[in-house]
Amino acid sequence: MAEKKMIIDGIECPFTDERNVLEVARNNGIDIPSLCYCENLSIYGGCRLCLVENERGALDAACSMQPKNGLVVYTHTKKVLESRHTTLQLLLSSHRADCLTCEQSGHCKLQEYAHRYNVVEPRFDENTYNHERLDVSSPCITRDPSKCILCGLCVRMCAEVQNIAAIDFVKRGKKAMVAPAFGKMLVETGCVGCGQCAAVCPTGAIVINRQIPEMWKMLNDPNKRVVVQYAPSVRVGLAEEFGMPANEPVTGKLVTALKRLGVDVVYDTNLSADLTIMEESAEFMEKLKSGAKLPMFTSCCPGWIQHVEKAHPELMPQVSTAGSPMEMMGALIRQQFNNSNDSVGDDDVYSVAIMPCTAKKFEAQRPELEKDGKRLIDLVLTTDELARLIKAAGIDFKNLPDSEPDSPLGDYTGAGVIFGVTGGVTEAVRHQGLHCHGGRPDA
């Protein structure tokens, strides 16, 4: 195949199968701003920030512009810069700008572009942002319509990747907004709390329900023994959060950081991942011998479980009855301190789980996860929340010494790591010499 090239700002930019001019530019080190584009989603072309000028002086959206051999475009002419400045002014006029107290401050693309293009005030004096109430019905995420810029990333992520379609564009004109249909709250929809909408939101319109204040309160309570478990994938996400390579082991640093924060006991959820593997393997073999309907689906993902309960209840008999690793470790922690001989009893234990998924916040609140009137897990924090705690405490994470998790629940086989790396329970089951027929049970 002959090499194809287009000219961007006088630079020859080779390309092959890129979908649009925006991808060609970024692959050649030219950053064209965009608020509504994601390479994993369909092309929307709604924010109009990625406009470029062609040789005829016309403006076109780089995200929907087909790359052609010999095509010439310019990304920062006077016309382009004036267009971006005006667009950002209009976006700021419809966005509640409380940046100092916004959860997304410092990570907000709108904020970044406003600084980049010297936009210091909105287009209009009056506040024209949406005044609909906050949606705090979900234990996982909060939706704030006043900060929505209608980029549609959350809508497409929910519909195209997660296949849930819990939210969409509603109303028209200046009343247009992103929300569940018929004025419902998120908790009344098919939302599974996965948090992928929050992951792609460029502003603070959808954010994770952060529970950092509750954690600080418990850490500073002398009458509470704070016991933390951390999931296998957290150690990878935490490395990236502090600018370290994703493949660099940071388990020891993670344990040290938790201890310096004031955590009393630290356990690795890998142990209960081992237990989950064994329980699900045994259950699968029983189903196989009895001729029960297959495949058997894992019960480890709370988002998946919610989806089955809400959309496919007929599949519930095929879902494993084993608890997730977080649930099992929560039960072990309660049992461990209930049977301990020291002065700290079960009532004084505050059980915290550091998990990579916002849906775990919902799982911890399920009524099934209550035993003898006590929750197995009192609080779930995401990797991002833990990173914020570490930064707030002024801890130099990169240079921390390594520590080992506490005994007796700190040892594990390593099968749980495979469990997390592959994303499938079956792979870990195979690692132990068992064979699941019909592919991944959670596929």
The whole-number pLDDT of residue 97 equals 85
Q: Indicate whether 204 and 216 sit together in one domain.
A: no
User: Among 76, 110, 140, which residue terminates a domain?
Assistant: 76
Residue 72, domain member (yes or no): yes
Taking the C-alpha atoms of residue 193 and residue 164, their distance in angstroms, rounded to an integer, is: 11
Taking the C-alpha atoms of residue 102 and residue 424, their distance in angstroms, rounded to an integer, is: 36
Does residue 126 carry a pLDDT above 80?
no
Q: Indicate whether 203 and 217 sit together in one domain.
A: no
DSSP 179: E
Q: Indicate whether 16 and 140 sit together in one domain.
A: no
Residue 96, domain member (yes or no): no
pLDDT per residue as tens digits for the range 371-411: 878 899 999 999 999 999 999 999 999 999 999 999 887 67
For the chain, the domain total comes to 3
Which H helix or E strand runs over 226? Answer: strand 225-230
- C-beta contacts of 180-186 below 8 A and 24+ residues apart: 185/135, 185/137, 185/138, 186/135, 186/137, 186/138, 186/141, 186/143
The whole-number pLDDT of residue 212 equals 96
| pTM (predicted TM-score) | 0.87
pLDDT per residue as tens digits for the range 13-50: 999 999 999 999 999 999 999 999 999 999 999 999 99
Does residue 421 carry a pLDDT above 90?
no
Residue 419: pLDDT band by 50, 70, 90 thresholds?
Answer: low
Q: Indicate whether 267 and 191 sit together in one domain.
A: no
Structure token pair of residue 168: 């969409």
Straight-line distance from the first to the last Cα atom of the chain, in angstroms, rounded to the nearest whole number:
37
Taking the C-alpha atoms of residue 138 and residue 335, their distance in angstroms, rounded to an integer, is: 30
CB-CB neighbours of 323 under 10 Å: 21
User: Among 188, 208, 228, which residue terminates a domain?
Assistant: 208
Taking the C-alpha atoms of residue 276 and residue 386, their distance in angstroms, rounded to an integer, is: 25
Residue 115, domain member (yes or no): no
Q: Indicate whether 189 and 222 sit together in one domain.
A: no
